[in-house]
Chains A and B, each alone.
Chain A
Amino acid sequence: MYVGEFEELVLLAICGIDEAYAVPIHQRIVHKAGRSATLGGVYRALSRLEQKGFVRSRMGEITHTQGGKRKRLYEVTGTGLAAVRAMRTARDRLWEGLDLGGVGTVNV
């Protein structure tokens, strides 16, 4: 199974957040990755990722914010991790020997 472009970003964002739910994922993508994204898009991507088995969700503890509602927390599964690594490997291999500029580190 392959990961879509946006889905890959979502996966990576999840990896970088402790308690990942829709809002911080969205924030991270928008602010850290600098890519525009909509909350709805994030939800859809999360849904697809879960269907593909790259991500699992659970209902978290009752939060102490107003309303005390539980949030749906996501984390990357082993399969998801493997998929993300595979993507990186594939990209890096293609990037090898290219001199196109842009931000990014060439992997060794």
Chain B
Amino acid sequence: MSTKLATALIRWRVAQPRQDEVLDDIEEVYALDIERVGKGRAQLLYWGHALNIALFGIGKPDDEPAYETANPIDMYRNYLKVALRTIHRQKAYTLINVLGLAVGLACVLLILEYVQFEQSYDNVADAERIYRVQNNYIRNNILIYESAATFSGVAPAMKAAFPEVEATTRFYHAGAIFNTVVSNEASAEPQHFREPHLIFGDEGLFDLFAINLVEGDAATALDAVNTMVLSAATAQRYFGKSNPIGQTLRVTDENGNNHLCTVTGVFADQPMNRHVAIELIVSYPTLHTRPEGARRYEENWGGYAFYTYVRLAKGTDPRWVEQQMYGVLDQYKPGYKEVNAAGERIRQNHFTLVPLGNIHLTSHLQNEAGVNGNATLVSFLLLIAAFTLIIAWVNYINLSTARALERAKEVGLRKVLGSRRGQLVRQFLLEATVLHVIAVGCGLLLVWMVRPAFLVWAGIPAGTAFWNDVQIWTGLLAFTTLGAVLAGLYPAFVLSGFRPATVLKGSFRHSARGQWLRKSLVTFQFALSIALIIGTVAVYAQLAFMQNRDLGFDVEQTVILEKPGNLGSTRAAYRERMGAFKQSVRNLAAVRQVAASSVVPSQGIHRGIVVTRQPNSPLSEAHSIEIVSTDYDFLEAYGMTMLAGRGFSEAAGDTSVFILNASAATMLGFASPEVAVGETVYLYGQEPRRVVGVMADYHHESLQRAPDPMLFNLYPSVDAFLSIKLSTQDLPGALAQLEALYQEAFPGNPFRYTFLDDRFNAQYTADQRFGERFRFFAMLAIFIACLGLSGLTAFATQQRAKEIGIRKVCGASVGRVLVLLASDILKLVLVAATVAFPIAYISLDGWLNTYAFRIALTPMLFLMPLVGVIALALLTMSFQSLRAALSNPIVALRQE
């Protein structure tokens, strides 16, 4: 019987450290037994020993400790020492790694802070039970509008109809809709400020919006007519240090409304993460003092201009409330019960309850109370942060394995001295941890340096609770350990797997599989960078396209003035002054033309007006259209093109006339613009208007939309907006003149102007921001990719030192060698491009399709970034490649 099996059995059942010892003993006994009783019996005895040992095992868990536990503390001290020495010796490589990780981490932290802020909007008490009540309007199964604000009657109706509605509040955002000026007439120097954040509201606001009244009584502050409360900052602005309570302010607007209000309270300034910014609240009953006040502002179910919020009792389903609203609507709007021939309702309002916390990121209706954020952008940024980090870690793995050669001798020696694989793995994991700790330190330093600028850029206030959040710090800890483990594991295993013999002999060659992994990692990095750069170029191209495209009207050199908010004495007197002002402006040499209108291009389209071809048509044949009221000069001043007919003319005695745009003409069913001229359409289905002309479509809003049907209504005394076309390049001079005239004509009003092109381009701010951020991260990605590439090149040239030496000896020129090295990298980049192109194409195509007017995705868009990336890659590796190509072949080929 052979003893080999028995040996194996023993090996199996004896703990590793005791195996040799035990087997020695067994063999010694075996030898003695052979002498004593002969081979046959000795073998039997051998088996006996083996089985006996196998029965209970030696050194197995329930037995003695498996091996002498070496002192771990000493070993770790050694590992640390070696790690620090390695860092010191390989400064460049460490720098690259740490930089990459630090940058990635800094990115992630800043993005997280931004994301957390965006997601923290409106986090008041019980926010999950607070909803904004919105409604839309559908006629003949066509959605006419979707509005963030609803009718004034909704709040009281809901309170009455539903016991489940705990509390309601509604406000009228006067400051946003009309030019509202507030004046402090009692101060030594007259103070007039335009107040875009002035609302008319009720005390429900203190409750639902967590507005804390620091002075004044919340229960009564907004009860009486002509009272108001101010934010602390506003109170400071008007009254400085003196007590605002009891003082008066005059609230006027461009419609001639005029309220002298007493201050009854001061509330703490609202934090920035609220979807609507509120600085002054005038008591809601004040609206009743306006002409037809009660009808328009209280029980009104026609005008949708009132932001309404409700808090539901626990457990109430908002969807149920929405359903019930149909019943409530029937009560108050019996006219909507009318059905058409098919038995469907002709006109409907659907009410939607939107949770308060969702408004900021997901609601983008026409008449939002403030500028809302973008949930897509938020998730997109998170994605980018993750990518940056992944690239940094990929780099680390790449560089570590590439640098393995340097450590090979150390590893070999350690193994010879008795190091076990697990110990080696632990050593390299520790090194990874040390690097990560340093990287975290640098990352935090980076964040600390960059953060102020970042906050400004992102529009976040400085005092966010982000850094106080324990989760962030535990997250950082998790990052360090997780990163160290993940990123360090592969190199650790590769390094600890070296065979000491091969390594110490000096003939160590890196495995083919390792090469492949490294190459694919670099390719992945480049693919990502290429895709990001293509994206950046495309975003900018689209933006430039939108901003430079002919809008169909003259947008340059146009100053827009809004109607003054403080009209002074009487309506008639105001009209006179407005007329005089217009004339005096016209007379300025710097001014080419002055025109007035109800809206200017770049303002939102509401399509709230109904026109029909026949008088008293059924509603099913009515069309919704956007109306712009203008004076005689508007179309000419804006240089709009007429397709048929003519513009408004005073000489022709135009009175009740319209001009349609081409889309409107088509919508109303006219075969061609010429056919429409002279026809009559009916405003609101009743009032006849004659069409005197049809104009070409122009872009009233950003190019994200196709032009809407519009009609221009002649209203010579319209004065909501004055468009002043300048004929001079001296803008400051012209503005100074305008201001002088303005102050003379409308004292008590701050002079505020905008330029039309600025207004128009402001529509693109969101897109611009998007482009900026995209670009930033593309730069970042390629920076890190280049870091990785440079590290890799260093390794490659080192590996190929002998090869290069031989080539040079055989006569290769420096250029030839460079080409050789470069072609390797080039191959990688090209492969990366083939991966990146389809992904970039598909994503960009999808994004561009959200725009009504978009650029085409040309090959140039893809090739240019590729060329750029290739150039960058070549540049990155040039230094090392050049050095290798110029090196003395003797140095490389010398035997050590």
Q: Can you list 22 A-B contacts with CB-CB less than 8 angstroms, sorted by A residue number?
A: A21-B25, A22-B21, A22-B22, A23-B28, A26-B29, A39-B25, A39-B49, A39-B52, A40-B55, A40-B56, A40-B58, A41-B52, A43-B53, A44-B56, A44-B63, A47-B64, A50-B64, A51-B64, A69-B24, A71-B21, A72-B18, A72-B21
Chain A residue nearest to B21 in the complex (CB) = A72
Chain A CB within 8 A of B32 CB:
yes
Q: Is the CB of B32 within 8 A of A39?
A: no
Query: Closest residue of chain B to A44, judged by CB?
Result: B56
For A47, list chain B residues within 8 Å (CB): 58-59, 63-64
**From B20, B25, B58, contact of A44 by CB (8 A):** B58
What does the 1/0 interface line of A26-55 toward B look like (CB < 8 Å)? 110000000000111101100100110000
Residue contact A40 to B29, C-beta cutoff 8 Å: no
6 closest A-B pairs by CB: A40-B52, A40-B53, A38-B52, A22-B25, A23-B25, A39-B49
By size class, the interface of chain B is 20 to 34
Q: Is B26 an interface residue (CB 8 A)?
A: yes
Give the chain A neighbours of B49 by CB distance below 8 A.
38-40
Q: Please indicate the chain A residues that have their CB under 8 angstroms from the CB of B59 in the complex.
A: 47
Q: How far is the CB of B135 from chain A (nearest CB, A)?
A: 82
How long is the Cα–Cα vector from A39 to B26 in the complex, in angstroms?
A: 8
**In the complex, which residue of chain B has the Cβ closest to the Cβ of A21?**
B25
Is residue A104 contacting chain B, with contact meaning CB distance below 8 A? Answer: no
- Report which of B20, B48, B55 forms a contact with A69, defined as CB distance below 8 A: B20
- In the complex, A97 has a CB within 8 A of chain B: no
- Shortest CB-to-CB span from A37 to chain B, Å, is 10
A51 and B21 CA atoms in complex are apart in Å by 19
Q: With the chains together, A67 CA to B58 CA distance in Å? A: 22
B32 x A27 contact (CB < 8 A): yes
Q: Which of B69-111 contact A (CB under 8 A)?
A: none
Q: B64: which A residues are within 8 A, CB to CB?
A: 47, 50-51
Beta-carbon nearest neighbor of B13 in chain A = A40
User: For the complex, what is the distance from the CA of A75 to the CA of B28, rounded to whole Å?
Assistant: 20
Q: What is the CA–CA distance of A39 and B21 in the complex, to the nearest angstrom?
A: 13
For A72, list chain B residues within 8 Å (CB).
18, 21
**Complex Cα–Cα for A27 and B56 (A):** 21
Inside 8 A of A70's CB, which chain B residues have their CB?
21
Can you name the residue of chain B whose Cβ is closest to the Cβ of A50?
A: B64
Binary flags per residue of A73-99, CB closer than 8 Å to B gives 1, else 0: 000000000000000000000000000
Which residues in chain B, 13-71, are within 8 Å of chain A measured between CB atoms? 18, 20-22, 24-26, 28-29, 32, 48-49, 52-53, 55-56, 58-59, 63-64
| List of B residues within 8 angstroms of A39 by Cβ | 25-26, 29, 49, 52-53
A22 to B48, CA, bound (A): 16
CA distance A72 to B19 in the complex (A): 12
Number of A residues near B (Cβ < 8 Å) is 19
Q: Is the contact region of chain B dominated by helix, strand, or loop, or is it mixed? A: helix
Query: Could you list which residues of chain A lie within 8 angstroms of chain B, going by C-beta atoms?
Result: 21-23, 26-27, 38-41, 43-44, 47, 50-51, 67, 69-72
A41: nearest residue on chain B (CB-CB)? B52
Nearest chain-B residue to A71 (Cβ)?
B21
Nearest residue, chain A, Cβ from B24: A69
| A26 proximity list for chain B (CB < 8 A) | 29
- B570-614: contact bitstring with A at CB < 8 Å (1 yes, 0 no)? 000000000000000000000000000000000000000000000
Chain B residues with Cβ below 8 Å from A51 are 64
Nearest A residue to B56, CB-CB: A44
Q: Which residues of A contact B21 (CB under 8 A)?
A: 22, 69-72
Pair A67/B24 contact, Cβ less than 8 Å: yes
Contact with A along B253-271 (1 / 0, CB 8 A): 0000000000000000000
A47: nearest chain-B partner, CB-CB: B64
A21–B22 Cα distance when bound, in Å, is 10
Least CB distance from B36 to A in Å reads 10
CB-defined contacts of B26 to chain A, threshold 8 Å: 39
Given contacts A44-B56, A50-B64, list 10 more A-B pairs with CB under 8 A: A21-B25, A23-B32, A26-B29, A27-B29, A43-B53, A43-B58, A44-B58, A69-B24, A71-B24, A72-B21
The complex places the Cα of A50 from the Cα of B68 at a distance, in Å, of 13
**Chain B residue nearest in CB terms to A39:** B49
Q: Tell me the minimal C-beta distance from A27 to chain B in angstroms.
A: 7
**Chain A residues within 8 Å of B18, by CB:** 72
A38 to B59, CA, bound (A): 17
List, in ascending order, chain A residues with CB within 8 A of B53's CB: 39-40, 43
* Complex contacts, A23 vs chain B, CB 8 Å: 25, 28-29, 32
Least CB distance from B849 to A in Å reads 76
Q: Render B883-894 as a binary contact track against A, CB cut-off 8 A, 1 for contact.
A: 000000000000
* A86 → B minimal CB distance (Å): 24
- Bound: A3/B20 CA distance, A: 29
Report B-chain residues with C-beta under 8 Å of the C-beta of A22: 21-22, 25
